[in-house]
Chain A
Amino acid sequence: MKYASIKSARSLWNSLPLILGTILLVSLISILIPSSFYTTIFSNNLLLDSLIGSLIGSVSAGNSITSYILGGELLTQGVSLMAVTAFLVAWVTVGIVQLPAESAILGKRFAFLRNITAFFLSIIVAIITVLIFKLF
């Protein structure tokens, strides 16, 4: 058990600069991009808005609650549910900000493929979710 603990501590220590760097980067982006910015860039095209939602969600970072609050605001501003869903899903599944950490620890190829597939899947999830939601 002692060996396992030492190994774990070493592994965490090696990841510490990446984790600290990511926390600092996430914080900086959260401060630099105000919530009002998000409401100004949507059009009224469902697919284009989903793509925009997914793009914004991908480059944004922070707690999921922040994305719920922003998503709620976007809905009240008249942004489509599909775009908001793509935004919410991309926010939590795509991590451009965390990409350096993810690729360093889990491999560049894996990190790239995971994020790019998650990006496109966020649009697909949005379409399916809204279609099912409207059915019930």
Chain B
Amino acid sequence: MKIKNKLKNISKSWYFLIIIILIYLSFFIFKENIFYSSLSFAFNIFLKILPVFILIFILMALTNYFITPDFVIKHFKKRGIKKWFFAIIGGVLSTGPIYMWYPLLSDLKDKGLNHGLIACFLYNRAIKIPLLPVAFLYFGWKYVLILSFVMIIVSFIQGILINKLMEVKK
């Protein structure tokens, strides 16, 4: 009974991690080379995102300190088109993997940020300024600039679409 209660207290997200670890363990038993390659790959990603993780912590702390629900309502709900520009610029300038930003966006959502703006922000994370030179190298500057421009416009459309779809009752 005690174990059952303890299991109930464990967050679902830990179960997700446990399942992934079990998958890794099965690779360790049956395909050791894949286990080590994947682990090394994961370690490299972790090293790469660690500084971003610190930056996100600082941003979250600053956001928690300065951005109150009233602030969000004032800047994101009353400024018409400006809030969309904020989401677009924020998305383009943000760094690190997408999932690193979920906690911060969740916090902002609780403070009143609408789903469309979150979707718009996440869509624009696809445009990474530091990686543009690499994209130019592979596809040429003209193609990359057109693609980036189209994606920015579509991010706005997706945001509006998400707002409409979220309003539809389940």
Contacts and interface: CB of A to CB of B under 8 A. Distances in A.
Interface of A: 1, 3-5, 7-9, 11-12, 14-15, 17-28, 30-32, 64-65, 68-69, 71-72, 75, 81, 85, 88-89, 92-93, 95, 98, 100-102, 104-106, 109-110, 113-114, 117-118, 121, 124-125, 128-129, 132-133, 136
B150 A68 contact: no
B65 A4 contact: yes
A24 B24 contact: yes
Contact of A24 (B42, B56, B131, B138): B42
A28 B147 contact: no
Interface residues of B, number: 68
A113 B162 contact: yes
8 contacts: A8-B57, A8-B63, A12-B56, A68-B138, A93-B122, A93-B126, A124-B154, A125-B154
B38 A27 contact: yes
B93 interface: no
Point out which of B107, B126, B134 has the most chain A C-beta atoms below 10 A from its C-beta.
B126
A28 B61 contact: no
Given A8-B57, A27-B38, A64-B128, 11 more contacts: A21-B16, A23-B97, A24-B42, A25-B20, A64-B126, A89-B151, A102-B102, A110-B162, A113-B162, A117-B162, A121-B157
Provide the main secondary structure of the chain A interface: helix
Interface stretch (B6-14, B69-77, B80-88): B6-14
A9 B118 contact: no
B143 A95 contact: no
The 3 closest A-B pairs by CB, nearest first: A92-B126, A4-B64, A8-B60
